[in-house]
Amino acid sequence: MLIIPCPYCGERPELEFSYGGQAHIDRPLAPSDLSDEEWNSYLYVRANPKGRHAERWRHIHGCARFFNAVRDTRTDHILATYKVGEPEPEIPA
């Protein structure tokens, strides 16, 4: 079980969170302007990196807020967490 630092509440066990998939995928403002390929890519195409992954989490059994985390998929180490709307932080290797 991971320990995840909620940017609003602090460190909490993974049990209090739900996972929300890859972060920084904005819903298109005018979906009807998109081609089928573009819409398909928004709907289904996701990164699957071995290493750093910016992803969404929700502190569902806590403050209930969504936030973003950078997790190393090899080690499950959480390298950073940050609030919705903030850019992915630069983390030195």
Partner 1 sequence: MTTGHFRTPSGGRIDRSRPLRFSFDGRSYSGFEGDTVASALLANGVHLVGRSFKYHRPRGIMGAGPDEPNALIGVRRDQGRYTPNLLATQTELYDGLDAVSQNRHPSLEKDRMAVNDRFSRFIPAGFYYKTFMWPRKAWDRLFEPRIRAAAGLGIAPSESDPDSYAQRYAHCDVLVIGAGPAGLTAAMEAAKSGAQIILCDDRAAMGGSLLAANQVTIDGAPAARWLAGMLDSLAGMANVTLLPRTSAFGYYPHNWIGLAQKLTDHLADAAPGQPRERLWQVRAKQVVIAAGAIERPLVFPDNDRPGIMLADAARTYLQQYGVEVGRKVVIVAAHDNGYRTAHELKDAGIDIAAIADIRGDSPVAARARQAGLRVLTNAAIDGTTGKLRVASITLTSGGKRETFACDAVLMAGGFTPSVHLFSQSRGKLMWNEDLQAYLPDQSAEAERSAGACRGHFALDEALADGAEAGRSAAEAAGYPFRPAIIPLACAVAHPVGGGGHIGAAPTSDPSRPKAFVDWQNDVTAADILLAAREGFLSIEHVKRYTTTGMATDQGKLSNINALGIVAEATGRTIPEVGLTTFRAPYTPISFGTLAGRARRDLLDPARITAINDWAIEQGAVFEDVGNWKRAHFFPKNGEDLHASVARECLAVRESVGIFDASTLGKIEIVGPDAAEFMNRFYVNAWTKLGVGKCRYGVLLREDGFVLDDGVVGRLAPDRFHVTTTTSGAARVLGMMEDYLQTEWSDLDVWLTSTTEQWSVIAVQGPKAREVIEPLVQGLDLSPDAFPHMSIADARICGVPMRLMRVSFTGELGFEVNVPSGYGAMVWQAIWERGQAHDMVAYGTETMHVLRAEKGFIIIGQETDGTVTPDDAGLAWAIGKAKPDFVGKRSLARPAMTDPDRKQLVGLLTRDPRIVLEEGAQIVAPAAEDRSIGHVTSAYHSSVLGKSIALAMVRAGRARLGERLEVPMPGGSIAVDVVAPVFFDPKGDRVNV
The binding site for Zn ion (CB under 5 A) comprises 6, 8-9, 59, 62-63
Instruction: Report the residue from 64, 73, 86, 89 that binds partner 1 according to the rule CB under 8 A.
Output: 64
24: amino acid identity, one letter = H
Q: Minimal CA–CA distance to 11: which of 19, 1, 20?
A: 1
Q: Which does 75 bind (CB under 5 to 8 A by kind): Zn ion, partner 1, none?
A: partner 1
Kindly state the smallest distance separating residue 6's Cβ from partner 1, in Å. Answer: 14
Q: How far does CA 87 lie from the centroid of its chain?
A: 11
Kindly state the smallest distance separating residue 22's Cβ from Zn ion, in Å. Answer: 20
In eight-state DSSP terms, residue 86 is S
Q: Is 73 in the site for partner 1 (CB under 8 A)?
A: no
Q: Is residue 78 a contact partner of residue 13, using CB atoms and an 8 Å limit? A: no
